[in-house]
Amino acid sequence: MRIGMLTGGGDCPGLNAVIRAVVRKGISHYGDEFVGFLEGWRGVIEDHTMPLDLQTTSGILHRGGTILRSSRTNVKKIPGGFESCLATIAKHKLDALVAMGGDDTQSISVELVKRGIKCVGVPKTIDNDLSGTDVCFGFDTAVTIATEAIDRLHSTTEAHSRVQVVEVMGRDAGWIAVTSGIAGGADVILAPEKPIDMDEVVRLLRARWESGKRFALVVVAEGAKLSETAGQATLGAKLDSFGHARLSGIGQALAEEIEKLTGYETRSVNLGHTQRGGTPTAYDRMLATRYGVAAIDLVHQGKTGRLVVLQGNKITDIPLEDAIAKNRTVGEDLFEVIKGLQPKA
């Protein structure tokens, strides 16, 4: 078979591990040939490619980023975009496409499936918020980086008797904030799922001071809102082609509010893209490799419009539409874990 591959949306540690696994199994077991499209859907529209074979995918397992590079190109917004994609796919005589991406990337695959293209998806986002899968690769690396940052911030925060706010990624779901916050022993953990209750934040910080510990760590997801009525904190008003604002600044806004309400010196740090950079953890390399092998198997089973997913410890697949229908947010069970560790009201 001839198979095209692309990586779309924000990059994610483990993308190269998926690419390597798909190509290795495809060539060695099925005799496939591959075309790599550069910079997500833009590469398909513009027919911008690179060869994908055993040589070009060698030595990339541990590397962050993606050898195919990425972009947030929305084919739906480009006049003639789908026609260009179909022309490129026909020109390269492709039998199938494997697209690695989150809901935006997969929403384009869904449209191509309607136009007769065989597409298989691999769930990728450090935010971990794709429906139908328990874990997206890249999430574990992001959590590991955030937890290490929280660990490091502990000593300097204690030395200065401060409150330290740590802003982490998480646009619609607080998986990174909740997981790194619990793992890093944060005193307050705030996620997009629940508007921030400043009275509760102040109560928790005062309780911490009264317990004799005169420092505290607060972890907040970039998508959290300062109140029921507030919008998300953004960097300017510009939207990307999928209509998403650039989120940033909730950490600083929250730090100013905390200092005003408590009188405790408060600082904020935004971990930003550091969470997406560098080498993937062993867990993510393993998960990405399992996804890659499953994706190429699906292609050869003739299944299309499917997303490989992890349910429990089993790799299986679901319709692409199910994955993009809604975000998978953090459940009450984890918010209860957080509450259980905090002083009772």
Binding site for ligand F6P (CB under 6 A): 9-10, 102, 125-127, 169-171, 222, 246-247, 276
Q: Give CA separation, 280 vs 140, 145, 158, in Å.
A: 8, 10, 30
As a whole number of angstroms, the distance between CA 55 and CA 75 comes to 31
User: For residues 203 and 249, which CB has a smaller minimum distance to ligand F6P in the complex?
Assistant: 249
Provide the residue type at 148 as one letter. E
Give the chain's count of helices (H) and strands (E).
Answer: 11, 13
| Nearest-angstrom CA–CA distance, 167 and 232 | 13
- Return the number of the residue (204 or 221) whose C-beta is nearest ligand F6P: 221
DSSP state of 55: T
Smallest separation, CB 275 to ligand F6P (Å): 7
Query: Based on CB atoms, which residue is closest to ligand F6P, 36 or 40?
Result: 40
Helix 139-159 × helix 175-183 angle, to 10°:
50
Catalytic residue, candidates 127, 129, 187, 284: 127
Rounded to whole angstroms, the Cα distance separating 60 from 18 reads: 10
**Residue 125 token pair:** 């986002």
Structure tokens at 309: 């997913």
Q: Rounded to the nearest whole angstrom, what is the least distance from the CB of residue 140 to ligand F6P in the complex?
A: 14
Cα 328 from chain centroid (whole Å)? 12
At position 324, the amino acid (one-letter code) is: I
Minimum Å distance from CB 127 to ligand F6P? 5
Q: Determine phi and psi for 123, rounding to 5 degrees.
A: -75, 115
Which amino acid is it at 325? A
Q: Which is nearer to ligand F6P, 208 or 328 (CB)?
A: 328
Q: Is 127 a catalytic residue?
A: yes
Q: Which is nearer to ligand F6P, 26 or 174 (CB)?
A: 174
To ligand F6P, the closest distance from the beta carbon of 314 in angstroms equals 25
Tell me the β-bridge partners of 189: 219
As measured in angstroms, the least distance from the Cβ of 8 to ligand F6P is 10
**Residue 53 DSSP code:** S
In the complex with ligand F6P, which residue's Cβ is closer, 26 or 121?
A: 121
As annotated, the active-site residues are: 127
